[in-house]
Amino acid sequence: MAMALAIMLFCSLIGVFADGVSGRATASFVFGDSLVDAGNNNFLQTLSKADIRPNGIDLAASGGEPTGRYTNGRTIADIVGEKLGQVSFSPPFLAPNTTGRSILNGVNYASGGGGILNGTGQIFVNRLGLEIQVNYFNITRHEIDKILGKSEAKLFFMRDAIFSVTIGSNDFLNNYLFPFLSAVVRLNETPDAFVDQLINTLRTQLTRLYTLDARKFVIANVGPIGCIPYQRSINRLTESECVSLPNELARQYNVRLRDLLSELNENLPGAKFCLANVYDLVFEIITNYQRYGFKTSSSACCGNGGKFAGIIPCGPTSTMCDNRSEYVFWDPYHPSEATNLIIGKYLVDGDSKYISPMNLRQLINL
């Protein structure tokens, strides 16, 4: 009997130790735009799609077939989920088979062209803005209540789930700064007023998620959007130049976002909002690309038009680079899987320079 109790205790301790090292099984609920879309736009009548080759050419899970991800392989959300022990990628909400117990692994609501504001991305016709994405999570929330029971579901969301939000770039690129449309928007709103609108809308949606029992958040700021191949191509810049206005607006928004997350951490009991400093991390990779093993940080691997292949999106007729791991950017707008791997590594296990007030491994183990 004593030996049996000792074995049981030993096994229990090993379980606790393993839990502390690797974290509990993580459910990942993903909100955002094309940087993290896992295929929701495949099910929309939209001009923003990535379900054509060669997108996904390096995605082992699909055998190299396109899935609707706007990159050559895994997105940042995919990589973070893997590093945190997620058993499979969070499936797109709109996929017909995203039902039943499969949603206990998490769900992806992100949509290419979507933004914080409902009006963002209207040039694509259809897309899921953040408000709609949160509405869809509410549907998932009730489904998990039915699967687990309300009390267990509440514990599941508070303890075992991470809520990631990667959004905001389209609010500048395909709204405030978009040719023709931007003339009307900027006539009516100063940059300060537009950023105010973004922050106030984001506050509302993050608070809605909190009321639906979300507690562990990671919110990405807007990256250096003036450095993407599209902006460099249409503005005919040199290889070392970035467009100043988009980056200035991104930095302005990012300062306000940091303040917002501090406010929410203070005012929403039990919640922890982590800031993913994507701007500084991506700018570091772009500036010192050779240090990270890249050949170029200005040209798209897959695209056409302009000096940096940055005008026409990636598709079957695009020019594609030979070694995709040597390019910071996959297409005119989106990072390559190689870049996503670096970003994911820093977000999961990095220090406060790029993820604060704690990294994601520490967050899931709270």
How many structural domains compose the chain? Answer: 1
Instruction: List all residues 6 or more positions away from 239 whose beta carbon is below 8 Å from its beta carbon.
Output: 296, 298, 308
How many Cβ atoms from other residues are within 10 Å of residue 362's Cβ? Answer: 15
Question: How large is the average pLDDT for residues 114-126?
Answer: 96
The set of catalytic residues is 34, 331, 334
Domain assignment of residue 114, yes or no:
yes
Domain for residue 329, yes or no? no
DSSP structure string for 138-170:
HHHHHHHHHHH-HHHHHHHHHHHEEEEEE--HH
Q: Given a cut of 70, is residue 9 above it in pLDDT? A: no
Q: What mean pLDDT, rounded, does the chain reach?
A: 92
First to last CA, the chain: 35
Report yes or no on 121 lying in a domain. Answer: yes
In a domain, 5, yes or no: no
Mean pLDDT of 4-24: 36
Reduce the DSSP state of residue 303 to 3 states and report it.
strand
What pLDDT does residue 24 have? 53
State the pLDDT at residue 185.
Answer: 60
**Residue 140's pLDDT is what?**
98
Domain that holds residue 204: 26-279+340-364
Cβ(333)–Cβ(311) under 8 Å? no
Residue 253: which of 282, 229, 277 has the closest Cα? 277
The answer to whether position 316 is within a domain reads no
Report pLDDT digits (tens) over 168-214. Answer: 999 999 999 987 665 556 667 899 999 999 999 999 999 999 999 99
Average pLDDT over residues 304-324: 94
Residue 217 lies in a domain: yes
pLDDT at 187: 63
Secondary structure E strands in 86-214: 161-166
CATH number at residue 236: 3.40.50
Mean pLDDT to the nearest integer, 293-318: 96
Instruction: Determine the average pLDDT of the residues in 7-34.
Output: 56
In this structure, is residue 328 part of a structural domain?
Answer: no
Average pLDDT over residues 124-136: 97
330 assigned to some structural domain: no
Section 50-58 average pLDDT: 98
Q: Which of 11-20, 101-110, 116-125, 131-140 has the lowest mean pLDDT?
A: 11-20
| C-alpha–C-alpha distance, residues 23 and 10, integer Å | 19
In three-state secondary structure terms, 274 is: strand
pLDDT at residue 7, rounded to an integer:
34
Is residue 1 pLDDT above 50, yes or no? no
